[in-house]
Amino acid sequence: MDCCAPSNNTGAARTDCPSCGEKGKNIQLITLKSLLKASALEKIEPENSYGFCSNSVCSTVYFSMNHLQTFAESDLKVPVYQKNPSMNVPVCYCFDWTRDRLLQAAGTHQQPAKQIKVHVQAGRCGCELNNPQGACCLGNVNVFLGGLNKG
Ligand SMILES: [Zn+2]
């Protein structure tokens, strides 16, 4: 949305993160409503558009596209995969595959990526409610598993 609009217009929806300047991803309000703690939820302005910053070195998770609000990982009920390197952080939020669980499944016959894909295709996932990025985790799962295979 608004990808061609000049970004220096006051009041224009800006998809760049106000904290790090990287381009964020438009996020549905339902994801913020589902994952923000009450103290942060009380501050959202539903008429605003919000973005998600996936930059791992930036502390901002969500920002309003008028650049007046930012929310950090501590404002969310769950740890954020992109911001938190802990092994007990979910990569797949819907089916509870943490980095640790994926690591343990690697080298067994469990094939987590395949399992997750089956559930996704069956329409069982709720990424917009469970995953802070508001979208399917499969890309992250494959990148994580791919990194394991290389290392
Ligand atoms: Zn950022």
Distance 78 CA to ligand 1 centre (A): 18
pLDDT band of residue 151 (cuts 50, 70, 90) is low
Express each pLDDT in 31-55 by its tens digit.
Answer: 999 999 999 999 999 999 999 999 9
Q: Domains of the chain (ranges plus CATH)?
A: 1-77 (2.20.25.270), 90-150 (1.10.10)
Express each pLDDT in 63-99 by its tens digit.
Answer: 999 999 999 999 999 999 999 999 999 999 999 999 9
Express each pLDDT in 103-123 by its tens digit.
Answer: 999 878 888 999 999 999 999
Distance 33 CA to ligand 1 centre (A): 20
Cβ-proximal residues to 45 (8 Å cutoff; 6+ apart), any chain: 64, 69
Radius of gyration in angstroms for the set of CA atoms belonging to the chain, rounded to a whole number = 16
Average pLDDT, stretch 119-148?
94
Distance 95 CA to ligand 1 centre (A): 27
Give the predicted TM-score (pTM) of the model.
Answer: 0.88
